[in-house]
Structures are given as structure tokens and as C-alpha cells.
Amino acid sequence: MPARPPPPARPWAGWHHLPPAARATLAAVLALALAGAGCSSFDATFGKQEAVVQFQPQTPNSVRLKVRAACSHVQQATPEPLPTSRVAQGMAAYEVRYRVDHASDGDLAKLQRCLQRFPSVAGIDFSGAGGS
């Protein structure tokens, strides 16, 4: 009886043909790749920081805009753009927000000191853009 030729090699036969050390290495590489992708999206979402100014009740938008302009000189504390849509223009109260993604503790302190000069400012909420 003639000898049978070996079966053709399959380019990918699954995990069970890999030695245990190779499986562990591949699993670690995949985990690191997924973790890296997760961290970059985490940073893109949660790395954004903002300062939201709370005003006394009934503070008119004209005063809010004056406060926004007066404290816009603080480095690394950039006022967010004014709303332009018709819905936003009809808002009862404009919310003053500063992007402080790259602000140092000193920059945040300067912003806080500037805002506290105004009696209409009730407080400042430093948080992530997602509300964290």
C-alpha cells in the first residue's frame, strides 16, 4: 500500500494548535492593544475638562456675557463659543463655560479669583465635559 501524503497545512487552524506560551503571548498582545484603544477613547471623552459658572438666580444674560469677557484673559481657560442656533438664542439663561483641558492649578486659581470678583457669580463647577 502506498504511503499517504500529509494533509495540506492550513494557514490558520485556531488557538488549539499554538503552544501554550505562544497563546499566552498572543493573548497579552491582544489585551494590550484593546486596552490602548480603550485608553485613547477614554482620554478623548473624559480628558476634556471644563469650568461651568453658576450665577445667582435672575442674573441677566448681559451680565453673564460681561463676566465671560472679563475673565477670558486667563491662560488655558478658553470660553466656549457662544450659542448660535435659534433655540439657544431663545434660552432664558446663557450658561458660561470655559474649557480648561490644559490649565494648571495656577490657571484655575486665576480663573476662580477673576470670577469671584462678580457678585452675580454663585460658584464654579470644575468637571469633565461629560459631567464627571
pLDDT tens, 69-115? Answer: 999 999 999 999 887 765 555 555 678 999 999 999 999 999 999 99
Identify the pLDDT of residue 14: 57
For the chain, the average pLDDT equals: 76
Of 68 and 24, the one with more pLDDT: 68
What is the Cα–Cα distance from 71 to 116, expressed in whole angstroms? 10
CATH of domain 47-128: 3.30.70.60
Q: What predicted TM-score, i.e. pTM, was given to this entire model?
A: 0.59
User: In 10 A of CB 30, how many CB atoms?
Assistant: 10
Identify the pLDDT of residue 56: 92
Identify the pLDDT of residue 94: 75
Would you list the domain boundaries of the chain? 17-45, 47-128
If DSSP codes are grouped into helix, strand and coil, which group holds residue 36? helix
Greatest Cα-to-Cα distance within the chain, rounded to the nearest angstrom = 101
Task: Report the C-alpha dihedral over residues 55, 57, 58, 63, rounded to 10 degrees.
Answer: -10
Phi and psi torsions of 100, nearest 5°: -130, 35
Counting residues of the chain whose pLDDT is more than 90, the rounded percentage is 41
3-state helix, strand, coil in the chain (%, to 5): 40, 15, 40
- pLDDT of 34 higher than 80: no
- pLDDT of 22 higher than 70: no
The answer to whether residues 108 and 44 touch, using CB atoms and an 8 Å cutoff, is no
